[in-house]
């Protein structure tokens, strides 16, 4: 029973602390000082990009990432099943993933270090 009382007391203390902090940080409606409006921050850009190729039956769907990206993972998709890429090749400092003839597409993930 003492543990549940301690938990309730901690939650109540957190509500009081955060409530006071929020109350103090909100400007009062009678405050005549002008608030500087900060410009909106740009939306964060995901460091991971997704590439898809559907040319597997003809050339094995070779995919590689942009110059400043790194190939993180590649999956060969066949119907409702997926497996890791059949072949990974490193040529000229660039990693390329390909699939076999049975795949219908490849899904690759590239990321920035």
Show the domain range for 91. 48-111
- Check residue 75 and give its pLDDT: 93
Residue 25 falls inside a structural domain: no
Residue 81 falls inside a structural domain: yes
Residue 55 falls inside a structural domain: yes
Q: What is the C-alpha to C-alpha distance for residues 85 and 6, in angstroms, rounded to an integer?
A: 53
Residue 32 falls inside a structural domain: no
Residue 2 falls inside a structural domain: no
The mean pLDDT of 76-85, rounded to a whole number, is 90
Q: How many domains does the chain have?
A: 1
> For residue 94, what are its two tokens?
């660039």
- Check residue 37 and give its pLDDT: 61
Among 3-7, 26-30, 103-107, name the most confident range.
Answer: 103-107
Give the list of residues 6+ apart from residue 71 with CB closer than 8 angstroms, or none: 63, 64, 65, 88, 95, 96, 97, 108, 109, 110
**What percent of the chain has a predicted confidence (pLDDT) above 70?**
66
CATH number at residue 103: 2.60.40
């Amino acid at each position: 029973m003492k543990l549940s009382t301690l938990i309730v007391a901690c939650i109540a203390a957190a509500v009081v602390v955060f409530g006071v902090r929020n109350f103090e940080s909100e400007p009062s409606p009678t405050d005549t000082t002008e608030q500087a409006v900060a410009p909106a921050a740009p939306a964060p850009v995901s460091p991971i990009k997704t590439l898809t190729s559907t040319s597997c039956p003809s050339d094995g769907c070779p995919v590689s990432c942009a110059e400043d990206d790194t190939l993180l993972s590649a999956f060969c998709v066949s119907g409702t099943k997926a497996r890791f890429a059949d072949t990974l090749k490193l040529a000229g400092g660039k990693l390329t993933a390909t699939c076999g003839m049975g795949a219908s597409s490849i899904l690759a993930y590239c990321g920035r270090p």
